[in-house]
Copies of this chain bind each other. A is one copy, B any other.
Amino acid sequence: MTAEPGTVRPGGRTARVRAAVLRAAGDVLAERGFAHMDLADVARRAEVGKTTVYRRWGSVTGLVADLLADMAEQSLPREETGSALGDLRANAALVQRTLADPRQGALFRAVIAAATCDERTAQALRRFYEVRVAEWAPCVEQAVARGELPEGTDAEAVVRAVSAPLYYQLLTTGVVPDAPAAERAARAAYAAAAAGVYVTGDAP
């Protein structure tokens, strides 16, 4: 565990309980999916009292929302390689490794599936991607400042374009994206950005 939320004393008992419960929640989600998740099972795996889990998270939906908030806090900081293509490659490689990781990939598939029918999970998922995209957008902004990409480029749209084909492949074909798919995703987003596809209408 790296970061903890500001409201919780790092290393305190509350933080340790949260870390253990979120770890167990992620394991259960990855193994069994959202529909078969059960707070009592999570409590048992986390070796935490059932009452604590019910009192603190209330429901499976509440627990998954907190798991996504924690994943957003802990998502790796961006890499800066000095070039837009290099940065987009680093981003694509990170997404690809996450989706290819058996536990993380299963976890994302389970959460995305749950978000299609549960509004609170959908909100938490949206928030997760907002945090992640905001973390990487400065790579594109810096490339625009360097004159590498056109003025008025929507930085967040470029970051989303890197992820899109990797998630699309996993969700529609079930085939885990590999390193060449990540390379193609980064190059495609870069080529489209360079061609001005993501320049917003009200740009200079």
Residues of A near any B CB (own CB < 8 A): 33, 35, 109-110, 112-117, 122, 125-126, 129, 157, 160-161, 163-165, 167-169, 171-174, 184, 187-189, 191-192, 194-195, 197-198
Contacts and interface: CB of A to CB of B under 8 A. Distances in A.
A157 B177 CA distance: 13
Main secondary structure of the interface of A (DSSP, over half): helix
A117 B165 CA distance: 21
Question: Which 3 pairs between the two chains have the least Cβ-Cβ distance?
Answer: A188-B192, A191-B195, A164-B168
A172 B126 contact: yes
Nearest to A129: B172
Nearest to A114: B113
B188 A161 contact: yes
A33 B168 CA distance: 20
Contact of A116 (B110, B163, B189): B110
Contacts of A167: 164, 167-168, 171-172
Contact of A113 (B116, B173, B192): B116
14 contacts: A35-B117, A112-B171, A115-B174, A129-B173, A157-B184, A160-B165, A160-B168, A161-B188, A167-B168, A168-B168, A187-B197, A188-B197, A191-B192, A191-B194
